[in-house]
Amino acid sequence: MTQIGQPISRLEGKLKVTGAAKYSGEYKVPNLLYGYVVSSAITKGKIIKIHTESAEKIKGVVKIFTHLNRPGKAWFDMQYADMDAPPGASFRPLHNDEIKFNGQPIALVVAETFEAAREGASMIKVDYQETKFQTDLHSNLAAARDAKKGMATLLKPPPPKPTGDFEKAYAESDFKASGEFIHSTEHHNPMELFTTTTLYDGKGKLTIYDKTQGTINCQLYVGNVFGLHFKNVRVVSPFVGGAFGSGLRPQYQLFLSVMAALDLKRHVRVTLDRSQMFSFGHRPQTIQHTRFGATQEGKITALNHTSVAETSQFEDYTENVTNWSSMMYPADNTLFEQKLVSLDVNSPMDMRAPGGSTGLHAIEATMDEISYKLNIDPLELRLINYSTFNNAEKKPYSSKELKACYLQGAEKFGWYKRSPQPRSMSRGQKLVGYGMATGIWDAMQLPARAEAIITKDGKLHVKSAVTDIGVGTLTVMTQIAADEFGLNMEDVLFFYGDSKLPFAPIQGGSFTTATVGTAIVFASKALKKKLLKIAKTSNEAFKKAEIEEVTFKNGMMIYKDCSISFLEIINTNKDKPIRTTNFGYPHALKLRKYARAVHSASFVEVEVDQELGTIKVTRALTAVAAGRIINPKTARSQVLGGMVWSISKALMEETIMDAQLGKYINQSFAEYHIPVHADINELDVLFVQEDDKIINELGIKGVGEVGLVAMPPAIANAIYHATGKRINRFPIHFDELMES
Amino acid sequence: METESFTKTHQATTVTPRTITLSINGQQHALTILPYVSLLDALREYLDLTGTKKGCDHGQCGACTVICDGKRIISCLTLAVMKEGAKITTIEGINHPIQQAFIDHDAFQCGYCTPGQICSAIGLLEEGKVKSREEVKDSMSGNLCRCGANQQIIDAIMQVKGGDNE
Amino acid sequence: MNNFDYQKAATVSDVVGKSTFVAGGTNLIDLLKYNLTNAATLIDINTIGEHHDILEIEDGVRLGALATNADTAYHPIIEQRYPLLSRAILAGASAQIRNMATNGGNLLQRTRCYYFYDPHAPCNKRLPGSGCSAINGYNRNMAILGTSENCIAVFPSDMSIALSALDAIINIKSEDGERSVDFADFHRLPGDTPPIDNNLKPGEFITSIDLPLKGFAKNYSYLKLRDRASYAFALVSVATGLELDGDTIRDVRITLGGVSHKPWRVKDAEHYLIGKKADRENFSAAADIILQGAVGFAHNTFKIKLAKKAIVRNCMMALDPSTQLPGAQPSA
């Protein structure tokens, strides 16, 4: 039986349900010091004085670090840049007296206990000189400009160049739809607080337990910033309590923990509190505009999509908001634009389905609007404009089974029971609405290394520095490796979450399974060759065997009717393990001719209370075409998670900026609403068959983001169908739907 | 600018630590702590029982749920000194069918909210007050899950609970 | 959070005349952690031997101040005779918090105003004279009734909304002896003294809450409207108790939550309804009376209309309490 395709339960499950899984703040460390961060109370200006006297008197307080006494460190901004740094100058904690955003870390109180550090932090008073700040996107649109280009632009290209003559085509089109779409700031808010525990071993070596999506990214950052040899910095993160993009860059608790450990020559743990979880990266607030034109028959002829997003004053964070429509719908006349406005906030950051979950709302709500104007079923409109060609890149897709998503999804959901007119369906005191939308996400793959080993006892070990932020990487990589050698899951061990293991990029963008999975395939192929080579030296029967003629099963290498066990091969190898480390990479030449994407279609039913406007997503289905699904159980959970996020994004989630105070005012789980169990009703996931022989060895595309692109607009569209009200601001508040 | 924060200022007090005994998972643990140590921090930082999680430290997420005298409570908003004499059960002391049900239903991803969800679910089952799936969802709503495993969590609980899944 | 001394009290006389008691801790310890309050000594009142029970008394039922919210909501006497109170309690907070929080503490919980919780934002409730950030700030969840130019914060309790409708009486002990306060006279409007939430004087101690005999067990409903289905504070909530004679209203209570610095009950509206038919039209007219004088702010004007609709809906739900849903959501 092959392991790939099996719904195997998470291998670390037992550790997680018994409390035995150790997260970054949970390692037992003797004589540990605790650091508590003091955050800026102003938004912009200078620190005049930090009064630390009363905090220093607290019993147990060891040292208070500020910009005045922090140890020297890297001088050049470049060295603060991490793998995911946008163009600009990365933020440097405790660098000087300048305040660039509210909540900026300005001091670290280090004490013998957590309580003393917290108490000390609460007693620090700061004198500031405050200057005028701008934190409101809407009143600063005049400052919108193009983004600077840099390394990150490679993964996030600017929107495609204009094609045809949009203005003319739009003016002449039979049917038009347009809209303004406003999205609030969101914060990742993983359940685990950002924590770093730095172990100082006294010989210049550091072991760092960090909450991150990239062990090597953090290793390089620490090495660069503190001038340490990379080999002396080990970052370990086997369990990560959620991240959703917030761990793609090293956060400031890592810097502060390492700084204090090096200075005090002690082990130091720094944990942010929940309000401080709102002081770093976030999904930027955006304002989008769309104008789509269509023919009488429903063919989209003109696409215009523009976006203005906020960024900080020191980095140009961008995400692809307006690139998507021409990847989906083949219109000849297109005009896309993305602008930034610098505000006095920290830099935004990738947050689950960055750009896609923002842009697709505007695109798919506009498509919905057109369908009503044309009196065409929204699903039919998508089919009319269906194409397996990516018009933005002018290339065919390596595979695109979106049509199967549409048709199978509609069938399973019961889409055809929908009555076309808005406000035409009801159930008791509730208006009922059906909405649908399309989803798309890049199917990316990056280079990575992996090591494969046949151990002395004939088992397979596979190693990568990659993290498992809860997406199932451990289980999925074990399945891939097991199948390479025809082994049972029990005979394979995957080592991960450790910077001393072979290189893996940051875990994000839905590219991890393709990236690390392919590296494992490459390493396995090399290891198999090595096994054959060794077998040939001891076993006559294998002398003439070519690697293509050999199969592997249950710890045996088989050639024709002969077989040899791994243990025998190990024996030939003088009882030493056999290992290889290899690079896995995308086939650039082959792939150059193709566009690559994962697709989905979401179908949503909502109930809206006729009188009060309260909204309930009663059921939803997302059909996904994501190439080969390694583990349908964990992949389903990934998509379900994205669907819960969709409900959150459309109806609940927003970080509220008070522009007069220049700060976020709902920095807590009580007031930053994410769905509770009572908000989640029937959710269903359907994976359609999609065989992609081009994309990579395993035909993998990735499922991390695709659950969160189609469903938010499908919810908005369902609300329109239920009520006849088109609300283009997310989150949608129920009072906007209240009966007038 | 006015630099004083608007909080009341306070003076450092000279309170000395006291030795208390906590009954956790059937074992007596003596520890010497200051009164302002929360039960959650006592478990995690003083007793190395890190299965109980800190997600917000303000009673807003449920990750720190433990069972105290048979009832689910949040350990972040109670003090260790207030729980002398109470019988406390943490995830480390639990061996219950709900754990396997969580694994079978894939009722977690990152796993960070999981111990709190499990303690809360056991509390719910023992309270015996809620019946329907809708009631279970409402009664479990004090436990947030950011990975979005909500449906699988409720599926796991309903399987163990048995009865009406409507 | 500052360090403090800790003592366990054995009797009520150990605590009267003193300050900063901890019972459930669900609000106080939170406030301590946010540095919104401090204490030199925290007196644990859970260890007091009495006031933990729900007892039948001659003219009603007595809720011990130290009984937990959960034990109260699930007590057979409350479930059978005062189901409105059960429903309201179960609409608040989470199961865990209700297992900890006590009845006395519920009445004393502080507002959830964003700006009150932010130690660096001006707030007259936290620091008198510093200003109110909410009036010109983001005030979606703020008050529309009984506000002052100093404060538009909302009292967040659900339990208290039902207690107000049930005409509860609060029993208080102090060094001077005992006194009882009608529920309507306990909580205050912000006026010129936003820091003072209620009329409990320093050194006083709530021992119990009495419920009069009339419990509206046949026709009652609690409705709570919020930005998610559970575990969130109300934007608007309504407690309704009805006593019917056929379809004529013999007695009625309506209290609004989430709209003011105290539970909002307008007896004129109840008098208006008595003797009238229990229908939408009359409930709607009563709702207009209840919302008289309501003033919205930039982000919460919707609450005026929402509250009116919520009152009508909840009164209609009270005609058939079986339509109530978990989490006090609007009926199907």
pLDDT for A1: 73
pLDDT band at A627 (very low <50, low <70, confident <90, very high): very high
- Choose from C30, C120, C325 for mutation: most chain A CBs within 10 A: C120
Minimum distance, in Å, between the CA of residue B88 and any CA atom of chain C: 14
Indicate whether A102 belongs to any domain.
no
Judge whether B94 is closer than 8 Å to chain A, CB to CB. Answer: yes
Q: In what order do the strands lie in the sheet with C205-212?
A: C54-57, C60-64, C205-212, C169-174, C177-182
Chain position carrying tokens 């107000």 = C164
Bond preceding residue A348 cis, omega within 30 of 0 = no
Domain assignment of residue C231, given as a range: 219-319
Name the minimum distance, in Å, from the CA of C278 to any CA of chain B.
30
Please name the member of B10, B81, B140 whose beta carbon is closest to the beta carbon of C38.
B10
Please identify among residues 283-342 of chain A the ones whose CB lies closer than 8 Å to any CB of chain B: none
pLDDT tens digits, C102-145: 999 999 999 999 999 999 999 999 999 999 999 999 999 999 99
Contact A658 C302 (CB under 8 A): no
- Let me know if residue C116 belongs to a domain: no
Question: How many Å lie between the alpha carbon of B51 and the closest alpha carbon of chain A?
Answer: 4
> Between chains, do C225 and A666 touch, taking CB under 8 Å as contact?
no
Q: Do B52 and A19 touch (CB under 8 A)?
A: yes
Q: How far apart are CA A459 and CA A481, in angstroms?
A: 11
Question: Region C57-86: what's the mean pLDDT?
Answer: 98
**With DSSP H G I counted as helix, E B as strand and the rest as coil, what are the percentages for chain C, rounded to 5?**
30, 25, 45
**Average pLDDT in chain C:** 97
Cross-chain residue pair C99–B73, CB shorter than 8 Å: yes
* Structure tokens given for A97: 């007296």
Distance CA A398, CA B162 (A): 47
User: Virtual CA dihedral for A107, A111, A113, A116, nearest 10 degrees?
Assistant: -70
Average pLDDT for chain A: 96
Give residue A529's domain range. Answer: 446-585
- The total of other beta-carbon atoms located within 10 Å of residue A686's CB is 21
Residue-wise over C214-233: b if at least 16 C-beta within 10 A, else e?
Answer: ebbeebbbbbbbbbbbbbbb
Query: How far apart (Å, rounded) are the C-alpha atoms in residues C37 and C31?
Result: 6
Residue contact C2–B10, C-beta within 8 A: yes
Q: A130: which chain B residues are within 8 Å (Cβ-Cβ)?
A: 1
Instruction: Give domain status of residue A463, yes or no.
Output: yes
> How many pairs of residues across A and C have Cβ atoms under 8 Å apart?
95
DSSP A142: G
CA-to-CA dists, residue A262 to A258, A259, A695, angstroms: 6, 5, 46
A312-342 residue pLDDT tens: 999 999 999 999 999 999 999 999 999 999 9
Rounded to an integer, the average pLDDT of C73-84 is 98
pLDDT computed for residue B26 by the predictor: 98
Cα–Cα distance measured from residue C127 to residue C151, given in angstroms and rounded to the nearest whole number: 12
Q: Tell me the CATH number at C246.
A: 3.30.390.50
Residue A56 lies in a domain: no
> Is residue C146 situated within a structural domain?
no
Paired strand residues for C178: C173
CA of A214: how far to CAs of A217, A249, A504, A596, C124, in Å? Answer: 5, 8, 8, 24, 45
- Which two three-digit tokens encode residue A378? 């929204």
CATH of the domain at C10: 3.30.43
Quick one: pLDDT band at residue C19, thresholds 50, 70, 90? confident
Q: What is the pLDDT of residues A446-464, one digit of tens each?
A: 999 999 999 999 999 999 9
Q: Which of B7, B18, B130 sits opposite C119 (nearest CB)?
A: B7
CA distance B7 to chain C (A): 5
A683 touches chain B (CB under 8 A): yes
Q: Confidence class of residue A735 from pLDDT cuts 50, 70 and 90?
A: very high
As a whole number, mean pLDDT of residues A365-371 equals 98
A473 domain residue, yes or no: yes
Provide the chain B residues 106-135 that lie in CB contact (below 8 A) with chain A: 106, 108-115, 118, 134
Task: Give the residue-averaged pLDDT of C212-222.
Answer: 98
Model confidence band, residue A75 (pLDDT cutoffs 50, 70, 90): low
pLDDT greater than 80 at residue B11: no
Q: Could you tell me if A239 lies within 8 Å of chain B, comparing CB atoms?
A: yes
C-alpha span between C126 and A193 (Å, rounded): 28
Chain B positions touching C156 (Cβ under 8 A) are none
- Is the pLDDT score of B3 beyond 80? no
pLDDT higher than threshold 80 for residue A545: yes
> Chain B 27-66, CB below 8 Å of chain A: which residues?
34, 36-37, 41, 44-45, 48-58, 60-61, 63
Is A172's pLDDT higher than 70? yes
pLDDT for position C149: 98
Which pLDDT band holds residue B10 (cuts at 50, 70, 90)?
A: very low
* Closest by Cβ to C97, choosing from B6, B74, B130: B74
List, in order of start, the domains of chain B with CATH numbers.
Answer: 18-92 (3.10.20.30), 94-161 (1.10.150.120)
> Neighbouring chains of C at 3+ CB pairs within 8 Å?
A, B
> Amino acid letter at C56?
E
For position B13, what pLDDT does the model report?
Answer: 56
Type of residue found at A153: T
Residues of A numbered 29-68 whose beta carbons fall under 8 angstroms of chain B's beta carbons: which are they?
A: 41-42, 45, 48, 54, 57-59
Provide, as residue numbers in chain A, all residues whose Cβ is less than 8 Å from the Cβ of C312. 611
For A167-185, the three-class secondary structure string (H helix, E strand, C coil) is HHHHHHCCEEEEEEEEECE
C-beta neighbour count of C295 within 10 angstroms? 13
Beta carbons of C225 and A430 less than 8 Å apart: no
What is the Cα–Cα distance from B50 to A32, expressed in whole angstroms?
A: 15
Q: How far is B14 from chain C (nearest CA, A)?
A: 8
For residue A207, being part of any structural domain is answered with no
d(CA C273, CA C312): 12
Average pLDDT over residues A23-30: 97
* Alpha-carbon gap: A300 to the closest alpha carbon of chain B (Å): 35
A191 with B110: Cβ contact below 8 A: yes
Give the per-residue pLDDT at A638. Answer: 98
Give the nearest partner residue to A668 out of B48, B49, B60, using CB atoms.
B60
CB of A611 within 8 Å of a chain C CB? The answer is: yes
Q: Is residue A72 over pLDDT 90? A: no
Contact A17 B103 (CB under 8 A): yes
pLDDT at B160 over 50: yes
Q: Render pLDDT for B107-130 as a digit per residue (tens, 0 to 9).
A: 999 999 999 999 999 999 999 999
According to the model, what pLDDT value does residue A383 have?
Answer: 98
**Chain A stretch 404-443, residues whose beta carbon is closer than 8 A to a beta carbon of chain C:** 427-430
pLDDT at C180 over 60: yes
Chain A touched by B10 (CB under 8 Å)? yes
C310 part of contact set with chain A, CB < 8 Å: yes
Mind listing the pLDDT tens digit for each residue in A199-242? Answer: 999 888 999 999 999 999 999 999 999 999 999 999 999 999 99
Q: Is A273 on the interface with B (CB under 8 A)?
A: yes
Three-class DSSP labels, A72-130: CCCCCHHHHCCCCCCCECCCCCCCCCEECCCCCEEEEEEECCHHHHHHHHHCCEEEEEE
Instruction: Determine phi and psi for C246, rounding to 5 degrees.
Output: 65, -125
pLDDT confidence band for A157 (50 / 70 / 90): confident
Minimal-distance CA residue of chain B relative to A23: B112
State the nearest Cα–Cα gap between B105 and chain C, in angstroms: 23
- From A432, A524, A509, A438, select the one nearest A478 (Cα to Cα): A524
- Give the pLDDT score at B164: 64
Q: Which residue has the tokens 């979450």?
A: A497
Helix axes B97-104, B114-127, angle to 10 degrees: 130
Q: To the nearest whole angstrom, how far is the Cα of C141 from the nearest Cα of chain A?
A: 10
How many domains is chain C built from?
Answer: 2
Q: How many CB atoms lie within 10 A of CB A72?
A: 7
Preferred mutation among C27, C118, C259 to probe A, highest tally of A CBs within 10 A: C118
Residue B138 in contact with partner chain A when CB distance is under 8 A: yes
Q: Does C114 touch chain A (CB under 8 A)?
A: yes
Residue A42 lies in a domain: no
DSSP reduced 3-state for A594:
coil
pLDDT (0 to 100) of residue A203: 85
In a mutagenesis test of the A interface, which of C302, C322, C323 is the best target, namely the one with the most A β-carbons within 10 Å?
A: C302
A661 to chain B, closest Cα gap in Å: 13
Interstrand relation of C205-212 and C219-225 (parallel, antiparallel or unpaired): unpaired
Mean per-residue pLDDT, B129-153: 98
What's the pTM value of the predicted model, to 2 decimals? 0.98
* Contact (CB<8Å) C306/A668: no
Q: Which residue of chain B has the CA closest to A242?
A: B110
Q: Do B8 and C123 touch (CB under 8 A)?
A: no
Domain CATH code at residue A542:
3.30.365.10
Residue C38 lies in a domain: yes
Nearest beta carbon to residue A611 from set C115, C230, C309: C309
Residues of chain B neighbouring C22 (CB-CB closer than 8 A): 79, 82
ipTM attached to this prediction: 0.97
Domain-located, residue A397: no
Domain count, chain A: 1
Asked if the Cβ–Cβ distance from C225 to A665 is below 8 Å, we say no
- What's the CA gap between C142 and C301, in Å, rounded? 10
Partner-chain contact B78 C100, CB within 8 Å: yes
Residue A115 lies in a domain: no
User: Per residue in A692-709, pLDDT tens?
Assistant: 999 999 999 999 999 999
Q: Indicate the residue of C231, C235, C313 with minimum beta-carbon distance to A611.
A: C313
